[in-house]
Structure 1
Amino acid sequence: MTTSTPTYLLPTTEQRAEMLRIAGEHERLVRDDERQKITTISRSRTWELERMGKHPLRRKLGSNSVAWLLSDLLWFIHQPSHKEAA
């Protein structure tokens, strides 16, 4: 029997608001350097997890730039599956 990490589920509007309130933050886009500090996951591992549906998806800002919603990352790191994914 194999064990797999659960698929990442997006937070509800209420869960997003609660995560941001607890962190004392407002909703904003987070670039890769800050994403790595928040999640402690490398760029290549993040890419793998996104492809497997186990990490919040990046949002394309331009031809060479991407970002993630802060609330998505805060929700992700507070899920038990985050520790397994890292």
Structure 2
Amino acid sequence: MRQQFTPPTPEQRKKILEAAEESERLVRNPEREKITALSRSQSWRLERAGVHPKATRLGYRFTAWLLSDLLWFVSQFQTLPTPSSHRGEHD
């Protein structure tokens, strides 16, 4: 069973943003990919499973994530969950 994503508390948001020397802002997909090292489809699958932070829909074809949520996600999931079905891989 995968661990569900739990958003950081206000205090945790403040600390993680200070550590990254950033301020809270919305992050679009290209930057999200750089922060999480996950492709769009990987993050979509993990988001649907409740493991990845949820995107905020701001308009037609415009979604974004809170920077603090992504930084918290990366800090909590140093070993990112992977889909259980990979073709060609053996244990």
Q: Which runs of 4+ in 1 moved over 6 A?
A: none
1:83 corresponds, among 64, 79, 89, to: 79
- Structure 1 residue runs of 5 or longer lacking an equivalent are none
- In terms of fraction of residues, the more helix-rich structure is 1
Task: Quote the residue 1:14 is aligned against.
Answer: 11
Mapped partners of 1:70, 1:85: distance in 2: 20
- Structure 2 residue runs of 5 or longer lacking an equivalent are 83-91
Identity %: 50
Mapped partners of 1:38, 1:50: distance in 2: 15
Q: Per-residue displacement from partner, 1:16-55 (whole Å, max 9, x unpaired)?
A: 0000000000000000000000000010010000100000
Matched, 1:60 2:57: yes
Match for 1:36: what amino acid? E
Mapped partners of 2:6, 2:33: distance in 1: 20
Q: CA RMSD in A?
A: 1.1
Mapped partners of 2:69, 2:19: distance in 1: 14
| TM-score, normalised relative to structure 1 | 0.91
Matched, 1:26 2:23: yes
SS at match of 1:84: coil
Q: Note the C-alpha offset of 1:82.
A: 4.8
